[in-house]
Amino acid sequence: MRTIAASAASFAVLAFGAAAESVAESVVQSVAQIDYMLECQGCHLPDGSGSSQGSVPSLLDSVGRFVTVPAGRSFLVRVPGSAQSALDDTRLAAVLNWMIRKFGPAQVAATFEPYTAEEVAQHRSHPLTHVARVRSELLRQLEESAQTLPR
């Protein structure tokens, strides 16, 4: 997959010259969507709504909120579903960016600083051990600092 994506992106650059960047970007987006379908949506569902049965939180409520603060950016990478996925750092960064654009509020999607492979690698090297505790602490901090979800 990675090779196909990389080749497709290089081909796009060669074939389309000036328009290559946006073509390469749309290849990245398509690969990210497929990665989400293969690696994440089994639990998180196609619409990101998760499931109360398996305690899978809704991404619609969380990703756009967490990504606005440094501890939350780190959390999104360090949760087991992300950190322990089969995706390499580049592909995980692309899936997280895709998820935030898809499931986060429009204003966050438009203004957030996308993850790079380097940032993902850095957070990923510190996996979470107490996910639920870290998550509720994060939510408490967000509420305390009166972080409201931009709409």
Query: Which of 34, 79, 121, 134 touches ligand HEC by CB under 6 A?
Result: 79
Of the two residues 19 and 71, which places its CB atom closer to ligand HEC in the complex? Answer: 71
Which residue's Cβ lies closest to ligand HEC?
81
Phi, psi of 51 (to 5 degrees): -150, 135
Q: Which structure tokens are listed for 23?
A: 């073509």
CB of 10 to ligand HEC, least distance (A): 25
Stretch that binds ligand HEC, among 9-17, 81-89, 111-119, 141-149 (CB under 6 A): 81-89
Give residues 17-76 in contact with ligand HEC (rule: CB under 6 A).
39-40, 42-44, 55-57, 59, 62-63, 76
Q: Which of 151, 124, 126, 135 is nearest to 69 (CA)?
A: 135
Of the two residues 4 and 43, which places its CB atom closer to ligand HEC in the complex? Answer: 43
Q: What is the Cα–Cα distance from 68 to 134, expressed in whole angstroms?
A: 16
Residue with tokens 């196609």: 46
Q: What is the Cα–Cα distance from 54 to 16, expressed in whole angstroms?
A: 45
Q: Which structure tokens are listed for 7?
A: 């080749």
Q: Which of 21, 9, 34 is nearest to 95 (CA)?
A: 34
120 binding ligand HEC? (CB under 6 A): no
Provide the binding-site residues for ligand HEC, judged by CB under 6 A: 39-40, 42-44, 55-57, 59, 62-63, 76, 79-82, 85, 87, 95-96, 131, 135
